[in-house]
Structure 1
């Protein structure tokens, strides 16, 4: 695999480390539109077959790791057919990511939001820049956190804290995310890539089979939890995608005003 396989992802090799950089040319905040969602779905499917690299270093280019779904794209997702296709791809993306055998080290700068957060949290070791923030603000868009957040957050911080942040969509600073156990390491902004790369190289120097299979054994627990909650959460998400409150949230965001929710 290389960069020619994608339109929103840059891929380069550094010895046994495969650098994967999210880079949506239409958004310096790496908002996830249809093309980027397609690339992410393809990316993790292809990484399952990666035979040269021993570690993936995942990061973002621009002002953010990824701020999650693009609201203009959301406006096109108001038919049962479009939502069924999105649900299929979103499920495959997360499950494929968990089936990638080589470790994924993620470096988060700027913001990680929505699906961007889920991708970070389902990676294996997370480095976060001091100034970065992380959140799952699905509810602020009038929809349920259906891309895996209802599993990733409780497993990291416990059900009570997870429900607080998932029901409010409030953002966490890097320091708070580290304190709660949501991410592994918080580092100075200028050192983010260097520190994450150093750790990726350290993993790459380990015994490959031992490292990979240790990861896969732990992911069995994550997949078990996903088997309980994922389909329910995505089903609720599809329901709320068709709600008037979601339409209002998108319109309010694009019109730069406060939404007025009615519960319909």
Structure 2
């Protein structure tokens, strides 16, 4: 795949800065099958692209990323083999972000939920709109939190807080995330672009090799853990995707009612 072949992710490069924008604004940038595949490719493509030194990840419209698209989730409830097919993609998304030597800034212009939370966590600096919310809500739809947050969160907030967040599907305000150490900067919406530009400007004008190797050293343990854990996490998530509770959660969301979990 080439950058020009992306359908649901826009990549623009100017002044050695690559801006990666998730492009499903009418769906709050929820991830479907095609976008999931593109996410598994785009970061390795940018790592190899000599035209950029810094990457900014954001979403179009009023959300950063709302997690998995409901129709996509429903299709995997109906055909479980579809979930098995995305396990390698999920690992590639997280590992390619952590492997990237170029610094990545998350412009969290709105909610980062589920996979959206994992995408934000795998960036190096998060700058959030003050109205944004953050959380990995996998368990609230009957799924194991398998797509990356379980790897990164314990490093940022400690195991006890990470377990509470992941076992309850807790949502945090941007300010709560900042207080926990998840989010670097929280600003009003009209100041978001200026703060992103300030941080990105410092990075792009810095010593490229020094920044690159400092990042890779800092990420070394995370990269190792992701390589070791993602296969297991996705296998557990695949099992949970076949559960009656997951099917009930998807049906409940589509019907706009509360799910009734049975533990099956």
Q: TM-score, normalised by structure 2?
A: 0.95
> Matches of 2:2 and 2:187 in 1, distance apart?
29
Following superposition, the deviation at residue 76 of structure 1 comes to 1.4
Task: String of CA shifts for 1:139-160, please: whole Å, max 9, x gaps.
Answer: 0110000001111111110010
| 1:52 Cα deviation after fit | 1.6
Deviation at 1:5, TM superposition (A): 2.4
Q: Which residue of 2 aligns with 1:127?
A: 127
What secondary structure, in the 3-state scheme, does the structure 2 residue paired with 1:30 have? coil
Shift of 1:221: 1.3
Instruction: Show CA shifts across 1:121-156 (max 9, x none).
Output: 001111011111001000011000000111111111
Tell me the alpha carbon deviations over residues 184-214 of structure 1, each in whole angstroms, 9 at most, x when there is no partner: 1111111112211221121000111111111
Deviations 1:10-34 (CA, angstroms, capped at 9, x unpaired)? 1212202111111126x34001011
Equivalent residues of 2:3, 2:42 under 8 A apart: no
Find the residue that maps to 1:45 and give its secondary structure: helix
1:54 alignment partner in structure 2: 53
How far the C-alpha of 1:228 sits from its partner, in A, is 4.2
Q: What's the Cα RMSD here?
A: 1.5
- Tell me which residue corresponds to 1:77: 76
Query: Match for residue 146 of structure 2?
Result: 146
Are the aligned partners of 1:3 and 1:12 in contact in 2 as well (CA < 8 Å)? no
Q: Distance in 2 between matches of 1:35 and 1:232?
A: 24
Report the Cα offset of residue 67 of structure 1: 0.4
Within 1, Cα distance between the matches of 2:194 and 2:41? 27
TM-superposed CA distance for 1:80, in Å, is 4.7
Q: What are the equivalent positions in structure 2 for 1:97-246 lying under 5 Å apart?
A: 97-246=97-246
Task: For 1:193 and 1:250, locate their aligned partners in 2 and report how far apart those are by CA, in whole Å.
Answer: 35
1:72-126 superposed Cα distances (whole Å, 9 cap, x missing partner) = 1011114453122110111111111112111101110220001111010001111
Q: How many residues align?
A: 263
Query: Does the CA-based 8 Å contact 1:129-1:187 persist in structure 2?
Result: yes
- In the alignment, structure 1 segments of 5+ residues that lack a partner are none
Matches of 2:127 and 2:12, distance apart in 1: 20
Contact 1:57 1:197 in 2 (8 A): no
Q: Secondary structure at the match of 1:56?
A: strand
User: In 1, Cα distance between the equivalents of 2:183 and 2:105?
Assistant: 11
Q: TM-score, normalised by structure 1?
A: 0.95
Identify unmatched segments of 5+ residues in structure 2.
none
